[in-house]
Amino acid sequence: MADNSSRSLLAPHGEYSKARSAWTGERSTYKTPLFVFTLLVLLVGSIISSAAILLKSHEEPVDSWRVQPSVLLSFLCGVYAITLGGLFTTGVAITWWRSLAHGTTLKRLHFISTGADPKDLVPAFLAGSDARRVVLAALVVFIAKLSIGPFTQRATRPRPHDVTRNVDMNIHFTNEIPDGWFGSWGSFHGRGLRAAQDTFLNSSMATDASDRYYCAGNGACDGLVSAAGINFGCSTTWETIKLLDPESQNSTIFSIDVEKDYSFDQPMIFLTTKYIESVDDACTATLRTDTCNIIPATVWYPISIRNTSLTLDLNRLLAQPSIKSNYTSAADILNNNLTAPIGPLEGIFRGLGYALRSEAFLGNDSKGGIGYDPGSEQLRAVHWSNIFLDTNFTAQGPNDSSKVQNTCSLAWRSPTMPIIGYMYDFMFRAAYAAADKDKVYEQSFIATYRGTELWYMTDFRWLAASIGIMVLGSAAAMSLLWGWWQLDRYVSLSPLETGKAFGAPIFAAAGPEREANGIVKEIGHERVAHDGDELVWSGSVYASGTGLVGSLRGRVSGDTDGRSMREMEGGSSGHSSVRGRGHRRGMSSASEAGSGGARPSFEHSLGVTTRRPYDDEEEVDVGHLGRHKSGSGSRREPERDAVGLMPLPLSVVPRTGASPSLPPIPQTGSLRLDHVSVGTRGRGRSGSGNGSGSGKRPLSSIVERSSPTP
């Protein structure tokens, strides 16, 4: 056997050495409630925010949201899922440590920690109440994470919606046509001719594409704008004419006349229309004559703008004309000076008057029936009698017959209001062209937008389902937090904390530190490796692996009452907790054995161990654990069972402050062994190197409770 000089402890580091009385370990008493409170705030915040977004976006235009609600909901769902996972993980750790504190089995501890693993759901559900709670909570949390995204996305969708609202708009119109814009008495300007062409061809008009000049969206903006136009008054007279009377032949039965009159206080245009309004069963026609006098005026035009397309609502204008004011232009007075400018009335007369003049006469058709003959006089348009002919007219009277119907069905629709409409349209286009985007003629008006827009519509059934599943998932995770106040520190399932709880030798130098952060501060610098059977760390003599477990089982199986573990007697009367790097037993040479000569040792790049690598070796040095043959029930030789399990005490600090050393080994090669009961475990202060004392309770006295109470 090697003598005492071949064993030594590494020199302690002063910065890690503390007196036992001053080293109590970190306890984060408020970390758990603060962490849980933070997670709950995030969960509640994500739930409330999701509901607020769905409620706020209901019946709102898609364009009003810079960031789509679906994007915001996806972000909140991600926050919810991450936060819910953190809360669930914390709850599992609390359940694990509470179950350990109340007493349980290793099997149940295992399934509590793996209860969320799909492959362990069934065995974990059958392992006990604590593991069953974890499994059920894991299923609810999984369903919540999986469904919250689709649920919230289904809760809101953009849909077409009919909308009506007021919008502020601008446009350029002149309220009076400037004198000379249409040309002079000797020449009609091309601007007026273009306005007449656009009127008859119904050419489209366009507004500016600038903001507030066009109607945005999939709809139309309707409003009233003031512009140059006309005011008119009409009178009507009726007379009859017998269509079958030969004396009625060549009588005027349809005509449109536009004349200018200067005999009144101001120039006027007179529009006279004559047409057959109705015919009775005796082929007697009612001939109607409308006479209208027209003067220039400023008119409220009903307009409609769709995007940049500008349209005049003539039907609304003719049904209810709205005159802002009348005005007279001196340029409309007859002038023999050919270079003198003309006014708006002369512009209407020259632009439309000659084109509107028309006349038709009563005659016979080729079959001997009643017909009409479009006049072909000079400065007369022959097409208007055809355009306004009522092709759906039916003779009216009590004695209607097919003969009368076939020979006397001759009537026209009234051309009066359509001709007035042409004049309005002509002046409207002229007023818009005369303004020519000049700021002087800019006017603002309030338009009514009517159209179809994409609006976000919230489905409140999916909203309720989304909120419900989020609340249910949160409640499931929170159910695992019950009893957290029974734990005196912040807990987790870190292998550092669980390994320390199970008494792994490598954590002995961490002293009373039980939280992962504290353990990391103390021994986090340790480099470790695992060779498949045991843990090896720098300078270690023995490790927590199959050797220790196998030796322990070989010594306690069979008769735990009669056999006992042995503890090597320390070199000093008192034991102090050792803290710091290097407070582990080391060996100066793997070949420093006793009379048995050099013995083999397992070496690792990060450390060395002298555990027996072969089952046929007979010598076991002091403090080294022999490896038994693998396999349960393997036969052990009596010589091996005679080797005592002698873990070296790891908390040895000399009272004198000198370098620590191993306890002296008797020269005879025998060791004085103290029996320590295997059936007890320490519950006293952390860092105690003694296996007995107050505060201990035997393993057999632990009563496992299926549902820990607070």
Beta carbons of 497 and 487 less than 8 angstroms apart = no
Model confidence pLDDT, tens digit, residues 670-684: 334 344 333 333 333
- φ/ψ of residue 174, rounded to 5: -100, 135
Q: What is the CA radius of gyration of the chain?
A: 54
Strands 442-458 and 370-374: what pairing? unpaired
Q: Residue 239: what pLDDT?
A: 94
Query: What are 47's two structure tokens?
Result: 């739930």
Using left for φ > 0, alpha for ψ between -120 and 50, and beta otherwise, residue 129 falls in: alpha
If pLDDT is split at 50, 70 and 90, which confidence band does 23 have?
low
Dist. CA 298–CA 176, nearest whole Å: 7
Give the torsion through C-alpha atoms of 152, 153, 156, 160, to 10 deg.
-170
Tell me the DSSP string of 510-527.
GTT--SHHHHHHHHTT--
Dist. CA 652–CA 661, nearest whole Å: 8
If pLDDT is split at 50, 70 and 90, which confidence band does 686 have?
very low
Angle at CA of residue 420, ends 417 and 421, nearest 5°? 85
Given a cut of 60, is residue 242 above it in pLDDT?
A: yes
Residue 255 burial by CB count (10 A; 0-12/13-18/19+): exposed, middle or buried? buried
Beta carbons of 221 and 169 less than 8 angstroms apart = yes
Q: Residue 367: what pLDDT?
A: 66
Q: Residue 246: what pLDDT?
A: 86
26 forms beta bridges with none
If pLDDT is split at 50, 70 and 90, which confidence band does 565 have?
very low
Given a cut of 80, is residue 539 above it in pLDDT?
A: no
Dist. CA 512–CA 406, nearest whole Å: 120
Query: What are 533's two structure tokens?
Result: 């059977």
Amino acid at 437: K
Q: In angstroms, how far is the first alpha carbon of the chain from the final one?
A: 55
> 571 CB contacts (<8 Å, ≥6 apart)?
652, 654, 661, 662, 663, 664
Given a cut of 60, is residue 567 above it in pLDDT?
A: no
Dist. CA 387–CA 528, nearest whole Å: 104
Q: Residue 639: what pLDDT?
A: 41
As a whole number, the mean pLDDT across the chain is 76
Q: Maximum Cα–Cα distance for the chain, whole Å?
A: 165
If pLDDT is split at 50, 70 and 90, which confidence band does 25 have?
low
Q: Residue 192: what pLDDT?
A: 93
Q: Which of 407-416, 592-601, 656-665 has the highest mean pLDDT?
A: 407-416
What are the residue boundaries of the structural domains of the chain, listed by start?
1-27+511-710
294 forms beta bridges with 232, 269
- Specify the DSSP class assigned to residue 689: -
HEC sequence for 611-678: CCCCCCCCCCCCCCCCCCCCCCCCCCCHHHHCCCCCCCCCCCCCCCCCCCCCCCCCCCCCCCEEEECC
Strands 183-184 and 187-188: what pairing? antiparallel
Count of other CB atoms within 10 angstroms of residue 322: 13
Dist. CA 403–CA 408, nearest whole Å: 8
Dist. CA 596–CA 88, nearest whole Å: 57
C-alpha 275: how far from chain center: 68
Model confidence pLDDT, tens digit, residues 49-101: 999 999 999 988 888 899 999 999 999 999 999 999 999 999 999 999 999 98
pTM of the model: 0.58
Using left for φ > 0, alpha for ψ between -120 and 50, and beta otherwise, residue 532 falls in: left
Model confidence pLDDT, tens digit, residues 182-206: 999 999 999 999 999 999 999 999 9
Angle at CA of residue 489, ends 492 and 103, nearest 5°? 70
Provide mean pLDDT across the span 271-279. Answer: 93
Given a cut of 60, is residue 21 above it in pLDDT?
A: no
Amino acid at 463: L
Q: Residues 48, 49, 54, 58: is their CA dihedral positive or negative?
A: positive
> 663 CB contacts (<8 Å, ≥6 apart)?
568, 569, 570, 571, 652
How far CA 342 is from CA of 158, 192, 430, in Å, comes to 57, 11, 14
Q: Residues 293, 297, 301, 307: is their CA dihedral positive or negative?
A: positive
If pLDDT is split at 50, 70 and 90, which confidence band does 618 have?
very low
> 195 CB contacts (<8 Å, ≥6 apart)?
351, 426, 429, 430, 433
Using left for φ > 0, alpha for ψ between -120 and 50, and beta otherwise, residue 558 falls in: left
Model confidence pLDDT, tens digit, residues 137-174: 999 999 999 999 999 999 999 999 888 999 999 999 99
Instruction: Tell which residue, 130, 108, 309, has the closest CA to residue 221.
Output: 309
Choice between 50 and 216, residue whose per-residue pLDDT is larger:
50
Residue 707 burial by CB count (10 A; 0-12/13-18/19+): exposed, middle or buried? exposed
> 264 CB contacts (<8 Å, ≥6 apart)?
none
% of residues, the chain, pLDDT over 70 = 69
Given a cut of 60, is residue 653 above it in pLDDT?
A: no
Helix (H, G, I), strand (E, B) or coil at 179: coil
Strands 205-206 and 309-312: what pairing? antiparallel
> 197 CB contacts (<8 Å, ≥6 apart)?
203
Count of other CB atoms within 10 angstroms of residue 385: 23
Given a cut of 50, is residue 237 above it in pLDDT?
A: yes
Count of other CB atoms within 10 angstroms of residue 334: 10
| Helices (runs of H) and strands (runs of E) counted in the chain | 17, 24
Which contiguous run of DSSP H or E holds residue 147? helix 129-155
Q: Residue 236: what pLDDT?
A: 96
